[in-house]
Structure 1
């Protein structure tokens, strides 16, 4: 059943029309408010008049067509698809939504959150969340499932993982009350696995990744299988089960190559680089990071991440000339970002080693103490807190500043405890 008041309110706000402008000559302002907030049921004549002013038709004959087009578009958002194709389909459906009152409108509006996230338009995604929040009290269980899931996606994208997990849990609770296909449920479990991984809940990440993997394997969805293998690889690496980690990464690489997906291949190479770095095998780590960096088809952010890792590996094996070259190239890549704030960690990494190698020690100390470590602590990135607190402590030891060195070894130890407690 269509909650007509919610739809009218949604269309009115989308058209930036005030209640007074919509109500004028049709109903009183207070009566329109009651209609929009579902406190009264208006007559068909009043609904028709309001819809006419909004430029909306009430034409049930198009309902099945709209539903089919929406279903197709939702599927495009679930898989990795061409953004131009997704946008073209979006515009086609939007034109139908703008001129027809349909039961598909609310679900379409909720899916816009996911759409904007895919396009990287995070402000639009947040605006859509805020807009829909006003009518979220009218959502049924299916609406709520996607509402919670996509809000979780938004929180995850902005690296706010605890609220993301809360939203995913709410969505998971709705799984029992809605009819969705197995792969959609597996996609939620994969998102939960990723979030557990970000929160360093390693055993939970393994559990959810395996559940998602079982479903994706059953449906021969090899791309999603590869993504699950990556999460399993990261998780096994963290608990030092390196053979299992390498096995999962190799499976991910194989599936990525079968699908000729460069992004997935190089994401796996990046993870293999981290694994060998963790094992202290710098040459192997450098080989995998270099693979990512040399592939110009890979997204810019992956290449910046790879060059940041290379800077650190070269520095750790005292190959300062290569480290300097990597820093220079890293800054060139960073210059291509429109908004550096989202990738601030890479900027900090490059400047940290740049100051060290130039022996600009005051700048190095000020940056790491006053900006970088607080930034990492704020984002609960305790693994990197350990790396840069220890780097700072070793630097102070070389300067014979043992009190300062001890202080930052303590910071590193505290970060170790946080990871252990997570």
Structure 2
């Protein structure tokens, strides 16, 4: 028997008085994380008809993911999570334009990608990645919705720059201790030792991701949201409540870029010297460069005293790199996060220094600040999304 479909795909949504399906179709969403939460987020974005999504993760599918991730299949084991989750989301909604980006959230994402997004959704499992996303979003003025789950409980919270409290404002002394522990467990956070994987269930992931996506929908429609607050869910008792956060006046994340110029160049073909010249032309001869991230300049051995100059993206540095080849002692990284003009490596390209594609370099002269977005990398990062002119 033939069944006549009299309603459009999104007709039930459009019964909501303030709903604008075209607004969702135009929306640009950056999803960080493709595990249990990320699966649920992508599933919901596909069902909602969100138009353009970039999903970022660096891991591969493991068998244990199959019990918590509805978009993964047994055949996906060993496959990049972003590829598997993108394929699963497109199977739900073929018109979804989703670009998988296998990358490290902390070190491999330029600020240009955050500026592209209307909203960022965090589906992460560690504080360092959350802090990196938080600082990026507050630098370029993009709201982000954090989600966290553990056992049967979880929290979803919305941080909205420039004035609202941010993720860093909520961090306790214990959070900072755990963050430092994570960073110290491996060289430059490349290969973490097992600190203990967080136990989770698919039911809790679905609840928290649903709140995250519902907040994104409301945000995109200009409806009241959880801005500056969090939805806390206790799965043991099924009790939930909303908690409001206070802005910390000493928080380092509240540093917005009020002036920004797009430069159609790539981090691979712009030298540090050229970028410094841009800053000084705009702000004066005393301007310096800031990168908003730690970059590796070299490795120093406390055992034998050997020093090695090594410019490399932090995401490409392993624990094996950290061991001194002469004496076997673990070496200490020598890091930098800006340039004053006195360095002897100014003729290296920004990419050679470790900056990711489509990043923003910042010039500063006293209180005056200006950003330069390397938009020549946009197509490389967005792939087909950019080719489609979105």
**TM-score by structure 1 length?**
0.27
More strand as a share of residues: 2
More helix as a share of residues: 1
Higher RCO (CA 8 Å, separation ≥ 6 residues): 2
